[in-house]
Structure 1
Amino acid sequence: MPKPPKKQFDGKRRKKAKDDKTKANGFDEVLQADIEQLIKQNRPEQDDSSSPSPVSLPETFTEIDVTISDISSTGDGLALSENKDHVYVVPFTVPGDKVRVKVVRHFPALSYSATDFLSVIEAGPTRKDELIGCKYFSKCSGCQLQMMSYEDQLAHKRRIVEKAYANFSGLIPELVPAIDETFPSPLQYGYRTKLTPHFAQPQHKKSEDGEQPQGTNVPAIGFTYKGRRMDLDIEDCPLGTDVVRQGLKSERKRVAANISSYKRGATLLMRESTSRFPKDAPTDGSEIKEISGMVSTPGADSGDVIRIERENYVEEKRCITDNNATSVEYVDDYVFGNKAGAFFQNNNSILSGFTEFIRSHALPAGNDKDPRPIKYLLDAYSGSGLFTITLSPIFKSSLGVDVAGDSIISARENARANNLPSTGFAAADAAVLFKDVPYPADQTLLVIDPPRKGCSEDFLEQLLSFKPRRVVYVSCNVHTQARDVAVMVQGDESKNVRYEIESIRGFDFFPQTGHVEGVAILNRVEFPPKTEESA
């Protein structure tokens, strides 16, 4: 076996802001990496002895015309200043766009200025405004990419993953395999099974003398304006599923009718819940039994119902509005109950292909011929059991662990509903997550799906001590994933454990937005024995 480099990082790990003040004044590691790279690629060659010329910036709230050079990993366009030493960050744009913007704020120490998008003067070659499917686009902060073809969106998200590993892993390129093409979502609109619009504290009307209250104004109910601390009134969101969109309209009417009862602002919930009934259900008015026996909480919805006839059953979809009520979701024939306000993936249309991809890559090639094959599944950050349950049939035994007790209760109910007796769940303290795992590490697949902040240093140390044979790392933040994967690749020589990356692929859970999820698959390898030369 060839000797691995003694130092597997190339020193490119991103520097964090020097202090909290810098963070509070526009610092975003991901955006900053893209800005610095764009300036570096276009910086004119200068005599080292000459001092850089001072940056001359327009007054704030000035309107200027700029041409977009690139799209950042945050979804915003990047335009170089005339001197190519400063960047204007412009939302809702694509490369080649010549646009008019309003300069909002300068961050000279970070070499960029934030702007508001005003209009397109000349469209870039990939801009397709006819594809925009929402009247709030270019105002709402929710979407960034509706003016791009879906093929271009997928290609852009592949570049996001590539840049994440280039900028945030610190790994030399030879240790990172080519990033696979982004896995597409079957639906590009109408896919979101959960929306959470909000509104600010209602303002009471007063009489002309300013003393007696005369009712209450209905505030904007929706999402935040892009780049502003203001709410945009959203009557409809085309990203939502049909029943969620109906639920949004119903909830807006309910809030308006009862606005005087709200003493402060609130966040609303619209969550799709699905029931399946047999086609041959009785029509005499007798009770119809749901196929899985798992149903959403009665009376906890908006009152909207959509019925869809499938080949072998009838689906009934409702919009749950109570965070603590039970919502039900199907992934193929697997059924999942969950607290409606708790985390569960929000794009059901991609979950069948996504879980099948994980299932088909859970075991290494030739596992069936291995004298000690992988046959146990450990799912850390298991939540209500999406991966534990959909992967369990290919393992002898499966265990999901999570620090959230409520999620474990839901996961156990889901295991019973799916008739999986060899699948268990346990609430575990984060500090001793691997302590009581009953499986031999060299026959165990570890699946991890942490929150956006990624894995803690303590978790990664526990992982390297446990030494699972194979790891599937699912992430909603490919930048923290790249950082954590690098720790695993670096390994721990004292424990004789490190990992090699088998593959990395992005998944488009949120079309029209700049967000991409990532799946990295890694295999445990040993450090080569030391020789006199390496000692």
Structure 2
Amino acid sequence: MGGKPVRVGEKIMIELEDLATGGDAVGRIDGFVIFISGGIPGEKVKVEITQVKKSYGRAKISEVVKRSAERVQPSCQEDEDCGGCQISYLDYQAQLKYKRKIVKDTIERIAKLREIKVNPVEGMENPFFYRNKAQFPLAKQGEEVITGFYALGTHQLIELDDCQIQHPLINRVVREAIDLIEEHQVSIYNEQQHQGLLRHLVVRVGVCTNQAMLIFVTKEREFSAGMEIATELLERIPELVSINQNINPEQTNVVLGRRTEQLVGQDHIIDYIGPIKYKISPLAFFQVNTLQAKVLYDQVVEYAQLSGTERVLDAYCGVGSIALYLARFAKEVWGIEVVGEAIEAAQENAQINGIDNCQFEIGKVRNVLPRLQQELKPEVIVVDPPRKGCHQEVLATFAELEPERIVYVSCDPASLARDLKCLTEVGYRVEEIQPVDMFPQTFHIENVALIKKQ
């Protein structure tokens, strides 16, 4: 065992102490940390050790001996196997409590900021059926075509056609599509052999407009039954207004390829966040939880404290969703984004909303910012970077621009903590953090931080 108190296959009793980032419960045997999926702090459980590493082990629960009052029966039958919902066995109010604790603990551990106010998490009234986008891998099971989601950490497909966190229209589109795929005997992609045609179904829904988009992801461009299936789907589902084909010939885990072609219907769907209308194309980024996106953006507005005279910089602006939402409260908004198609979408979305005080620049933030520095002195910077956070040069340039306030939107507490630490070292202080639950039943948590110049 090399001095470790447990070995793989051993069955032990353990008391659970905490919940870690990632949703696993934490217990200790002689000080050695064991991560246990599906556990709740305060429970006593019998587990089987599945993995032993240098500084920690992993285990799976075989029996809950002392049960927490926070444990509930998940509404999904595939909860234990599917990798989509990691904490659906937790009462929703308990989910919010532990997510806040994870944010607070992460900020204290990484940023060493112990006095930061972390507000209670803004949760959902109904924490189910909220996702407006889903990507479904396909497989053959005998003669039957199945779809669902991969078991956690594997490529083993768990069949599921009624997901409890997807918008109901997504589930309906997928069921009808599978029927027609089987009827037309379309060949299904096998990732081990890199053979077969149809790889994934991607469905997007405009929650406020009840419009749906379907994307067939194929290995080859030739999809002889595609037009017929697409036409029949439009007849079966009136809400389905856009059907496209995405071609991905690569042997890869990446779902979408670079090329998308319209099959039938229009090339986009429409959705709203608050009063702002967004045109969503097949590859466009859009917040996956439309209702909570409004809660998130309203929090950005509150922290930005705009009076109508300010110039705002939106770094990593994507399709301009936050920039356009802020525009009515500001004098001028500048957005920077590296993806050309996103900038085009941002400009188009500005146009359809009649917004004329937004400017968008294409390029990497760390390259564009120094160029803009001469003409742009923003009073407020809003930043919503990728999961890995901001580049160090970007944070340094923020400090040089000397905005009065920085509003930092983050989907990863660890990268947020690292960047907050950097900003506190260059003359800024963190006032407070507001977590927003964009992903109920999962361990993910979005945060909005208000940072002010010292």
TM-score in terms of structure 1 length = 0.70
Structure 1's 306 and 518: CA in aligned 2 closer, same or farther, altered over 3 A? farther
Q: Output the CA distance in 1 between the equivalents of 2:380 and 2:44.
A: 50
Identity fraction in percent: 24
Partner of 2:223 in structure 1?
none
Matched residue of 1:420: which SS?
coil
Structure 1's 152 and 159: CA in aligned 2 closer, same or farther, altered over 3 A? same
Shift of 1:321: 6.1
Partner of 1:507 in structure 2?
436
1:232-243 alignment, distance < 5 Å: 232-243=158-169
Shift of 1:353: 2.2
Partner of 1:269 in structure 2?
202
Q: Which has the higher strand share?
A: 2
Partner of 1:88 in structure 2?
34
CA displacement, residues 60-86 of structure 1 (integer Å, 9 cap, x when unaligned): 2344443322211210111222x2x22
Unaligned runs of at least 5 residues, structure 2: 190-194, 216-226, 247-259, 261-266
Structure 1's 327 and 116: CA in aligned 2 closer, same or farther, altered over 3 A? farther
Structure 1's 400 and 57: CA in aligned 2 closer, same or farther, altered over 3 A? same
1:52-451 alignment, distance < 5 Å: 54-58=3-7, 60-81=8-29, 83=30, 85-107=31-53, 109-110=54-55, 112-129=56-73, 132-169=74-111, 171-173=112-114, 176-199=115-138, 218=144, 221-257=147-183, 258-260=185-187, 262=189, 263-264=195-196, 266-273=199-206, 303=234, 322=245, 324=260, 325-363=267-305, 375-437=310-372, 443-451=378-386
Q: Output the CA distance in 1 between the equivalents of 2:388 and 2:287.
A: 17
Count of paired positions: 413
Q: Output the CA distance in 1 between the equivalents of 2:236 and 2:382.
A: 36
Q: Determine if contact 1:336/1:414 at 8 Å carries over to the other structure.
A: yes
Q: Output the CA distance in 2 between the equivalents of 1:505 and 1:194.
A: 25
Q: Output the CA distance in 2 between the equivalents of 1:252 and 1:160.
A: 40
Matched residue of 1:248: which SS?
helix
Cα root mean square deviation, aligned: 3.1
Matched residue of 1:197: which SS?
strand
Q: Output the CA distance in 2 between the equivalents of 1:151 and 1:408.
A: 39
Which amino acid in structure 2 is aligned with residue 516 of structure 1? I
Shift of 1:99: 3.0
Q: Determine if contact 1:270/1:320 at 8 Å carries over to the other structure.
A: no
Which amino acid in structure 2 is aligned with residue 114 of structure 1? R
Structure 1's 236 and 274: CA in aligned 2 closer, same or farther, altered over 3 A? closer
Q: Output the CA distance in 1 between the equivalents of 2:88 and 2:64.
A: 15
Shift of 1:512: 0.8
Partner of 1:27 in structure 2?
none
Q: Output the CA distance in 2 between the equivalents of 1:248 and 1:347.
A: 19
Matched residue of 1:56: which SS?
coil
Shift of 1:238: 0.9
Which amino acid in structure 1 is aligned with residue 149 of structure 2? F
Q: Output the CA distance in 1 between the equivalents of 2:432 and 2:375.
A: 24
Q: Determine if contact 1:301/1:319 at 8 Å carries over to the other structure.
A: no
1:454 aligned residue (372, 376, 389): 389
Unaligned runs of at least 5 residues, structure 1: 1-52, 204-215, 278-289, 308-315, 492-497, 526-535
Q: Output the CA distance in 2 between the equivalents of 1:502 and 1:445.
A: 15
1:471 aligned residue (392, 397, 406): 406
Which amino acid in structure 1 is aligned with residue 450 of structure 2? I
Q: Determine if contact 2:82/2:150 at 8 Å carries over to the other structure.
A: yes
